[in-house]
Structure formats: C-alpha cells, structure tokens
C-alpha cells in the first residue's frame, strides 16, 4: 500500500478589514510517513515542523495511569541532542502534553498509550504555533476521536504598541512581548496561552481577539486541505 | 498510591454541585478567596538569601546562593539567574524519587520565564566586569508540603528571597587581575519589579476558583496562572492546555490577579520592615 | 510502545518468497529502491527517501571551538544519528540501544575514518580556534536499510553545506554573515557511500537494500562503504554469519556499481539545487 501524499499550500492574503490578522503563506502535507498512525508536516513562513502520532496502543505497566490514557510527547530538535532542549522547544513539549488530552476523547481509554512525536525541521520563529498546527493535523490524520480541533497563533507587540500576527524572526526579536495562543475550533476560545515579556490587559485582549480572527483562516485551511485530500481519494 | 482512588467521575460531580449550590468550597472558602498566606524571610542562614512561604498547607522554601563566574559569551554584560524547582517525594505521595518529573520541569521553566519577562532583576546589574566576571544566582525552590497552587507560592518565595539577598562588594585588582571580595561591604540587590502570580482552577468554564488545593487541582479541568507586576502590567498568562476559556472569563481572572498583587506586595513589605527592625 | 511481532506464517512467507527470488515490493534481488534526494531551505539540510517509505534527514551545522590538544591544526567532525520514535514505535527515546550504537559507529567509520573531508582546512587559528562540523542524522520513517539512507543523506548534506567565511587579523577572528560574504563549501576529497547486503538461510540468499520486513528475517548483514573510485572505506559484517571470500568479493563488485549510480544521483541533485538557488537569487 503506497501512502497517499498531498502537498498543498495556500496564501493567506492581508485582508483590508482586519489589517492585523495577516498570516504568511503556509502549507501542509498529511500522511507522509508510513510507520506512524498519523503524520503531518506544517510549514509556516521559515518554520517547518514534522509531527507523527502513534496510538492508541498497549501501555507499559510502569507508565500506566489507572483512569486515563498515557500521553507522551517527544521533541526532536534538528540540531543537537533531544535531551537538551532549547527553551522554546521545551515549551512546545509541555504545551502539547497538556493540550492534546483536552482535544482528544481520551478519558475512557484506560490502559491505552498515545505518543506524539514532533521533529523540528527548521527552527524558525513561532515554533510553538507551528508545532501545534502540525500536531493537530497529525492527530486528525491518525483518525483519533476528537472533541475539537486546535490551532496555534503567535502575536508580537512591537515597542510602539502595534500588534503583528505571525511575526518574522526580526519582528520577534525587536518586539516587547510575544504571545502564543491555542484556539479551539468549536467556540474559538483560548485553550492554551504562553506569553513572554510584559504587556497591559487591553493589549492582551486585543491579541486574543486578533488570534481568534486569525484562527478562522487556519481552520479554513485545515478544512480545505483535508477535503482536497479526500476528494482525490474518492 | 494514596492520592488515588477517590478520583473518578462521582466526586467531581458532587464537588461541582455543592460548589454551585452553596457558593462555598469544602474548606469553607468562597470561590475568589485565597488561603492564608504567611511569609518568613532569612530562614536559611547558610544561603545568601532565603524565604519560606505558606499558602494554606502548601509550603515552599527558596534559597539563593550566589557564586562568581564568567559571563555568557553571547551577552558579556549580563549575569545569570538560574531557578530550579524541586518537588521531592517528601512533599506529596504523587512524586517519586529520581530525576525531576514533568511538573517540576514545567514549574522551573515557568519561573525562569517569569524572571525573564518581568525583569525582576536587570541581568546587567549582576555583572561585575564586562566579559570577565559576573554573579550567578542559583535560586533553589523546594516544596516541603504540596497542597496545590505551588506556582504562586514559588513566585512569592523567589521575590522575598531575592529581596533578602546581600551580595558582598567585589573589585578586580588591576595588577593581579584577580577578584577581591570585600565581605564587610554588603549590598541588597536592585529589585526593579515585583511580580505576583495568581492561579485559578477551571471546572468546564462554569466555575473558576482561585488558589486551588491539591484535591481541587486534581478535579479541575484546567489551570491558569496570571502574573502581574505592581504597575498592573501582565508578565505572564500561563495556561498549559485544559478547558478553553473565553476572553471575558480571562478578564475576570486578570482583575482578581491585580488585587492579589496588592495584597501580596503589602505582605512582603510588612515582613521586610519587621525583619529590618530586628 | 512495543513493536508488533512478526508472525510465524509471515516469516515463512517472506523466506519462501526470497527462495523463489521474489521480493515483497516486486524488486529483483540486486535492485535498489528508488532514491529521492531533496534539500531544505537552509544550507546543509538534506532529506533522502528510499522508495516511498524509508526517510532520513541530515542537517549539518558548524561552530567555532578550541581544537583537540593532540591535533591543534585540525577541525572536528561530529556525527550524531538519532532514532526518533517517529520512525518506529519500537525506538525508545533516550536509550542507547545496540542498533543505535552500531549505526553511529558505522557512520563514523564511513565518513570520519575514511578521511573524506579535509579537516585541516577547517582550522582557523592553529591551537586556538577550529570549526566543529556537526552532522545530525534523524531517521524519520524506518522501513529498512537506515544505514545506506543515513550515509547518503550525511555525505550529501556535507557537500551541500556552506560554512560562514572568516577573516583572521592577528588574534581577532571575524565571522561574516551570509549577507556580508558568501559562505564557503567544505573541501571534500571523495564521497564514501554505504551499501547493505542482507543474507538469508546462512548466506545462501542475498538481497541488496533490504526493507524492514526483510531485515527482520535476515541472518546476517554486510555493509560495505565505498567511493566511486572503487576504494573500500569500511567493511562490516554483523549477525554472526560466516561468509566465503567469493561472497564478499561479489558483494564488493555489486557495491561498486551501486555506488557509481548513487554518486551520479547525488551530483545531479546538488547541481539541480544549485541552479534552483541561482534562479531564486536573481528573481
């Protein structure tokens, strides 16, 4: 059986009504590896991430949790040993570790084990957001029952107080604060938030609103790429 | 495991119904009420600075040790602050001996982030000579009794311990190029910001309670920690997954966090004052 | 996560097929799977696909370090092969498995001990500063023959890599960014490539480029590293199988043909990438 691959990119243009929700071009490919139960790569600007999901499978007795499925998240940086993670890679690991169980219907799967393995192919800015998107697409590809989808959006606030979604490496470096949110597809609420730098309450609320708007584009992209993939198969 | 078998759907439901009906938690607190917070500084005489914090039963001790070292190559005018959170088996039956677990690692990283984001100490201030000598502050935070909400307690302990630190004066002898430490001249650190954290436990977006106990943390469907400084700026909005929250609910959390900041700042100042009088 | 064990009938089926000179994917005994070489956006990033399944990524990076004391004028080469759990559920993270040690050792023997890279050209200031070139190889999908794929990915990535240009003035070392001065390629003498042969039924049957299923039923493995000048760089036999002199010689002949083909392929891929980059720069 040959794995079915599909590459497709979509340019998300700056819309005139919401000038701050501009996202760079992103692309994804699902089911590109044969061994994992689900896999996806997600490319966003200069960052590209590969994610693979195994499971549900039998869990080791030593790792078993009596009332829920065991989750494992592994991050592999492209350069260097996986044991020594950079701060942003470490963040990504914890975020996925806490985020995946919420979107997945895991509570009834006692004694099951699930492993999300993420390989960071190009370590660019917004690693976290990109990894979240890749992981979500891999979970979808694995066909696991999910409560909702999630996507990651990064916002940066520059010294003048302007908000940039999907900042470039240079914008991120010059910014006063950087925030990454995971937004759920059901009600567009904040599932995860991770912030750096200090900012005011109204700036936070603006960033959340902007991320919620931007998330719509990403979910539309998920939908488009999946429907395109299955329309070819049928 | 002792922490175990009461944890199923039933107690969660019971808890939720009771809390909703009576607007009151098992320990008699209201939903937005913190446990009594006590603070003691200078509790460890061998450390350069230390503090002990209790929030209800949760007990956290923080010791700071200062050492001299060479500054990092990529930032020659900065010193180091190295926080480490330890959750030993002593504090709860849920932790096992061995290398730090997920929660301890996540807590260490969170504390490091708060230091970086809030600029508690400007790292330039602890550099002695550019490219040659700087201080490294090892902030060891240890939990002695785990009863939920350790992140808040860790931040209070850290700030109080940093305020307690007195560093000796160091001069570099121009002839020998060796560092000379003058133990008689000691100076406090320049603490520029006072971040204070407030943790909330979320139950399916209907109930948000502040300062959860270990049991409440276990039953909750999500946690969120908001860190603010004295100028009402946010330093961290840390939500590692869990139930999704709307912007309005988040706003409620932030408002509560701002009032909490005033309470804790007052407490730290009072304790510092009384320590000085002694 | 545990690997699904191979059932007895599956094992029987595979071995019978091999006896009848048939392979699962329809290849002939000496056929290699289709090799696809692609490059990342960064210099020194190379992805090698064997067929549609085995996939390996290599990334080369470099930094300035102090040289080893006994070799003050030589740069340092560092290889690190990782078996990520993404490649196969059986790979345990953070454990030095036998397979991992074997693969890492073989990669070092193939690429470092064959002296294919001029390490002296990596010296910046003798005894003080040299380049450490680091090759990270990640197995992304394991469907057999990781060794060959890794060696191809590693050497291609090394050929593709460009290190920053440096300028030495007295004690001061200036490292130029790619915008200031074009980065320079490494000087590579030759390109050793590993070719794996698997043996079945105590060496009676031989297959080139085994897939993962075939690797599970094989008795022994012979890995020959060779360059296109038909110079052998390393020969390693594992699995405790006795081989006749004739068998080894026959394998080396096959290897020389395969290596010539693969080298050709790598050069073509590098050429294409160079053209693509050239066009991209002038757009």
Pair type for strands B133-145 and B80-86:
parallel
The alpha carbons of chain C give a radius of gyration, in whole angstroms, of 20
**Domain assignment present for B5:** no
pLDDT digits (tens, 9 = 90+) for B149-194: 999 999 999 999 999 999 998 888 878 778 888 888 888 898 989 9
B232 interface with A at CB cutoff 8 Å: yes
- Chain A to chain B Cβ contacts (< 8 Å): 102
Distance CA(A154)–CA(A180), nearest Å, equals 4
* Segment 36-95 of chain A within 8 Å of chain B by CB: 66-67, 87, 90-91, 94-95
Of C196, C154, C207, the residue nearest C20 (C-alpha): C207
The answer to the question of residue C4 being in a domain is no
Nearest partner of B218 among A65, A148, A154, A100, judged by Cα: A65
Report the residue of A39, A54, A58, A78 to disrupt the C interface, i.e. the one with the largest count of C CBs within 10 Å: A78
Structure tokens at B136: 């490294």
Banded model confidence at residue A55, pLDDT cuts 50, 70, 90:
confident
User: CB-based contact (8 Å) between B194 and chain A?
Assistant: no
Q: Which of A98, A187, A193 sits opposite B237 (nearest CB)?
A: A193
Cis peptide before B64 (omega within 30 of 0): no
* CATH number of the domain residue C239 falls in: 3.30.230.70
Looking at A6-20, C66-80, C88-102, which range is the least confident one? A6-20
Average pLDDT over residues A162-190: 88
Residue B42 lies in a domain: yes
Least CB-CB distance to A57: which of C45, C89, C94? Answer: C89
Domain that holds residue A162: 26-233
Q: Say what the pLDDT of residue B12 is.
A: 66
Judge whether C118 lies within some domain.
Answer: yes
Domain interval for residue B51: 26-277
Pairing of strands C76-83, C129-141: parallel
Is it the case that residue A91 has pLDDT exceeding 70? yes
Give residue-wise pLDDT tens across range C11-52: 999 999 999 988 988 899 899 999 999 998 888 999 999 988
* Cβ B162 vs Cβ B191: under 8 Å: yes
Residue C10 belongs to some domain of the structure: no
Does the pLDDT of residue B104 top 50, yes or no? yes
Is C9 domain-assigned?
no
Max distance between CA atoms of chain A, in angstroms, equals 56
Q: What's the structural domain count of chain C?
A: 1
pTM score of the predicted model:
0.85
Token code pair at residue A68: 């829920």
Query: Is C56 within a domain?
Result: yes
- DSSP per position, A23-79: ---EEEEES--SSSSEEEEEEETTEEEEEEEEEEEEPPGGG-BTTB-EEEEEEEESS
Q: How many other C-beta atoms lie within 10 A of the C-beta of residue A232?
A: 9
> Closest Cα of chain B to A233: distance in Å?
34
- CA dihedral (A109, A110, A112, A116) in degrees, to 10, reads 70
Neighbouring-strand partners of residue B228? B196, B234
| 3-state secondary structure at position C256 | helix
Report the gap between the CA of B52 and the closest CA in chain A (Å): 27
User: Which burial class, exposed, middle or buried, applies to A57 when counting CB atoms under 10 A from its CB (0-12, 13-18, 19+)?
Assistant: middle
Chains C and A touch (3+ CB pairs under 8 A): yes
d(CA A226, CA B13) in angstroms, rounded, equals 38
Q: In 3-state terms, what secondary structure has residue C177?
A: coil
Tally the domains of chain A. 1
Task: Tally DSSP H helices, then E strands, for chain A.
Answer: 4, 10
pLDDT exceeds cutoff 50 at A225:
yes
Residues of A in contact with B238 (CB under 8 A): 193-195
Alpha-carbon distance of B67 to C255, in angstroms, equals 59
For residues A222 and A152, what is the distance between their CA atoms, to the nearest angstrom? 12
- Asked if C138 contacts C50 with a C-beta cutoff of 8 angstroms, the reply is no
Q: What is the pLDDT of residues C111-170, one digit of tens each?
A: 998 999 999 999 998 888 899 999 999 999 999 899 999 999 999 999 999 999 998 887
The Cα–Cα gap between C192 and C225 comes to 6
Q: Which residues of B touch A187 (CB under 8 A)?
A: 244, 246
What is the average per-residue pLDDT within A124-153?
Answer: 86
Residue range C62-77, pLDDT digits in tens: 998 889 999 899 999 9
How many helices (H) and strands (E) are present in chain C, helices listed first? 5, 14
Average per-residue pLDDT in chain C? 90
B143 to B59, B93, B121, B267: CA distances (angstroms): 6, 13, 23, 21
* pLDDT at A107 > cutoff 50: yes
- CB-CB contact of A138 with A52 (8 Å): yes
- Do B and C count as touching (3 or more CB pairs closer than 8 A)? no
- pLDDT reported for residue A1: 30
For residue range C178-221, list pLDDT tens digits in order: 888 889 999 999 999 999 999 998 888 999 999 998 999 999 99
Residue A184, chain B, CB below 8 Å: the answer is yes
Secondary structure class of A98 (helix, strand, coil): helix
Asked if residue C224 is part of any domain, the answer here is: yes
Question: Does any domain span residue B66?
Answer: yes
* Mean pLDDT of the residues in chain A: 78
Rounded average pLDDT over B44-63: 94
* Chains touching B by CB (3 or more pairs below 8 Å): A
For residue B10, is it within any domain?
A: no
Token pair for C89: 């559920």
Q: How many residues does chain B have?
A: 278
Indicate if the pLDDT at residue A109 is higher than 70.
no
Structure confidence at residue B155 (pLDDT)? 95
SS3 content of chain A, % helix, strand, coil (to 5): 35, 35, 35
Is A142 inside a domain boundary? yes
- Residues B210, B208: Cα–Cα separation, whole Å: 7
User: What SS3 class is residue C75?
Assistant: coil
Q: What is the CATH number of the domain that holds A36?
A: 3.30.230.70
In a domain? residue C8: no
For residues C54 and A81, the model is more confident at: C54
Per-residue CA distances from B22 to B16, B17, B36, B222 (Å): 10, 8, 21, 22
pLDDT computed for residue B6 by the predictor? 45
ipTM, interface predicted TM-score of the complex: 0.82
Burial class (CB in 10 A: 0-12, 13-18, 19+), A17: exposed
Give the tokens for residue B159: 């700030």
Question: Is residue C137 situated within a structural domain?
Answer: yes
Asked whether residue B14 is assigned to any structural domain, the reply reads no
Instruction: Give the phi and the psi of residue A109 in degrees, each rounded to 5.
Output: -90, 70
Of the two residues A111 and C255, the one the predictor is more confident about is: C255
Is residue C224 within 8 Å of C255, Cβ to Cβ? yes
* Domain encompassing residue C138: 22-282
Q: How far is CA A82 from CA A85, B41, B175, in A?
A: 6, 39, 45
Cβ contact, residue pair C40, A122, below 8 Å? yes
Percent of chain B's residues with pLDDT above 90: 45
CB-CB under 8 Å, B240 with A192: yes
Which residue reads 């100490």 in tokens? B121
Q: What is the pLDDT of residues B248-275, one digit of tens each?
A: 888 999 999 999 999 999 999 999 998 8
CATH number of the domain within which B273 lies: 3.30.230.70
- CA gap A182, B211 in Å, rounded: 24
Integer distance in angstroms from the first to the last C-alpha of chain C? Answer: 48
- Residues in A whose CB is inside 8 Å of some CB of C read 2-3, 33-36, 39, 46, 48, 50-52, 54-55, 57-58, 74, 76, 78-83, 113, 115, 117-119, 121-122
Q: Which residues of A112-127 are buried (b: 16+ CB within 10 A; e: fewer)?
A: bbbbbbbbbbbbbbbb
Q: Do C84 and A119 touch (CB under 8 A)?
A: yes
Residue A9 pLDDT class (50, 70, 90 cuts): very low
**Positive/negative CA dihedral, B241, B244, B246, B249:** negative
Bridge partners of residue A183, in order along the sequence: A151, A190
Exposed/middle/buried for residue B195 (C-beta within 10 Å: 0-12, 13-18, 19+): buried
Residue B180 contacts A, CB cutoff 8 Å: no
Interface of C with A (CB under 8 A): 1-2, 40-42, 45, 52-53, 55, 57, 59, 61, 80, 82, 84-89, 93-94, 134, 136, 138, 140-143
Tens of pLDDT, residues B6-44: 445 566 667 776 777 777 888 888 888 999 999 999 889
The closest alpha carbon to C145, from C87, C212, C192, C81, belongs to C212
**Alpha carbons within 13 A on the beta-carbon side of A57:** 18
Number of domains in chain B: 1
How sure is the predictor about B4, in pLDDT bands with cuts at 50, 70 and 90? very low
């Amino acid at each position: 059986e040959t794995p079915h691959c599909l590459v497709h990119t979509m340019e998300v243009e700056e819309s005139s009504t919401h000038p701050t929700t501009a996202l760079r071009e992103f692309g994804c490919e699902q089911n590109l590896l044969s061994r994992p139960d689900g896999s996806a790569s997600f490319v966003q600007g200069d960052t590209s991430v590969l994610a693979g999901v195994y499971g549900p499978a039998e869990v080791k007795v030593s790792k078993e949790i009596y009332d829920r499925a065991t989750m494992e998240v592994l991050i592999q940086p492209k350069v260097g040993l996986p044991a020594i993670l950079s701060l942003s890679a470490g963040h990504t690991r914890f975020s996925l570790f806490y985020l995946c169980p919420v979107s997945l219907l895991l509570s009834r799967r006692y004694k099951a084990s699930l492993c999300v393995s993420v390989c960071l192919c190009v370590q660019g800015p917004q690693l976290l957001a990109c990894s979240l998107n890749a992981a979500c697409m891999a979970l979808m590809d694995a066909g696991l029952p999910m409560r909702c989808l999630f996507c990651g959006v990064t916002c940066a606030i520059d010294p003048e107080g302007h908000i940039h979604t999907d900042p470039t490496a240079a914008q991120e470096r010059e910014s006063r604060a950087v925030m990454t949110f995971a937004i759920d597809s059901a009600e567009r609420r904040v599932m995860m938030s991770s912030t750096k730098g200090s900012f005011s309450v109204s700036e936070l609320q603006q960033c959340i609103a902007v991320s919620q708007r931007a998330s719509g584009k990403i979910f539309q992209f998920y939908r488009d790429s999946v429907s395109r993939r299955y329309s070819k198969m049928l | 495991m002792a922490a175990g078998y009461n944890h199923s759907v039933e107690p969660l439901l019971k808890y939720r119904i009771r809390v909703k009906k009576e607007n009151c938690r098992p320990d008699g607190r209201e939903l937005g009420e913190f446990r009594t917070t006590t603070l003691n500084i200078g509790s460890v005489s061998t450390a350069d600075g230390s503090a002990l914090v209790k929030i209800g039963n949760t007990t956290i001790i923080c010791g700071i040790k200062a050492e001299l070292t060479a500054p990092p190559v990529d930032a020659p005018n900065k010193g180091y602050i190295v926080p480490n959170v330890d959750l030993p088996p002593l504090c709860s039956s849920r932790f096992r001996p061995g290398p730090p677990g997920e929660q301890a690692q996540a807590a260490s990283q969170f504390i490091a982030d708060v230091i970086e984001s809030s600029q508690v100490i400007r790292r330039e201030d602890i550099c002695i000579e550019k490219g040659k000598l700087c201080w490294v502050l090892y902030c060891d935070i240890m939990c002695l009794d785990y009863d939920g909400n350790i992140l808040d307690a860790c931040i209070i302990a850290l700030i109080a311990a940093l305020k307690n630190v007195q560093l000796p004066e160091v001069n570099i002898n121009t002839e020998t190029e060796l560092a000379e430490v003058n133990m008689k001249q000691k100076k406090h650190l320049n603490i520029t910001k006072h971040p204070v954290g407030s943790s909330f436990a979320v139950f399916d977006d209907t109930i948000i309670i502040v300062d959860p106990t270990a049991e409440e943390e276990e039953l909750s469907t999500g946690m969120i920690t908001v860190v603010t400084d004295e100028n009402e700026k946010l330093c961290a909005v840390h939500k590692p997954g869990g139930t999704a929250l709307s912007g309005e609910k988040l706003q409620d959390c932030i408002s509560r966090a701002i009032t909490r900041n005033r309470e804790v700042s007052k407490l730290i100042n009072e304790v510092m004052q009384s320590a000085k009088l002694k | 996560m545990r690997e699904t064990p191979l059932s007895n009938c599956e094992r029987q089926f595979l071995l019978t097929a091999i006896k009848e000179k048939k392979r699962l994917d329809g290849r002939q005994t000496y056929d290699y799977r289709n090799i696809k070489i692609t490059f990342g956006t960064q210099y020194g990033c190379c992805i090698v696909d064997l067929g549609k399944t085995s996939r390996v990524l290599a990334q080369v990076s470099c930094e300035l370090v102090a040289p080893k004391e006994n070799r003050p004028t030589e740069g340092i080469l560092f290889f690190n092969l990782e078996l990520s759990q993404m490649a196969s559920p059986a790979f345990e993270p953070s454990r030095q498995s036998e397979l991992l040690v074997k693969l890492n050792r073989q990669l070092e023997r193939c690429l470092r001990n064959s002296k294919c890279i001029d390490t002296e050209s990596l010296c910046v200031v003798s005894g003080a500063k040299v380049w450490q070139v680091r090759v990270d190889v990640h197995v992304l999908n394991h469907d057999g023959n990781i060794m060959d794929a890794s060696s191809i990915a590693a050497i291609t990535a090394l050929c593709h890599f460009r290190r920053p240009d440096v300028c030495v003035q007295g004690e001061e070392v200036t490292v130029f960014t790619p915008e200031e001065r074009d980065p320079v390629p490494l000087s590579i003498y030759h390109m050793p490539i590993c070719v794996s042969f698997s043996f079945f039924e105590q060496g009676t049957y031989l297959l080139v480029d085994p897939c993962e299923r075939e690797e599970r039923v094989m008795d022994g493995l012979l890995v020959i590293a060779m360059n296109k000048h038909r110079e052998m760089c390393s020969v390693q036999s594992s699995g405790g199988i006795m081989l006749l002199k004739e068998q080894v010689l026959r394998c080396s002949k096959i290897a020389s043909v395969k290596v010539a083909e693969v080298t050709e392929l790598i050069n073509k891929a590098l050429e294409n990438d160079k053209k693509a980059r050239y066009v991209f720069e002038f757009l």
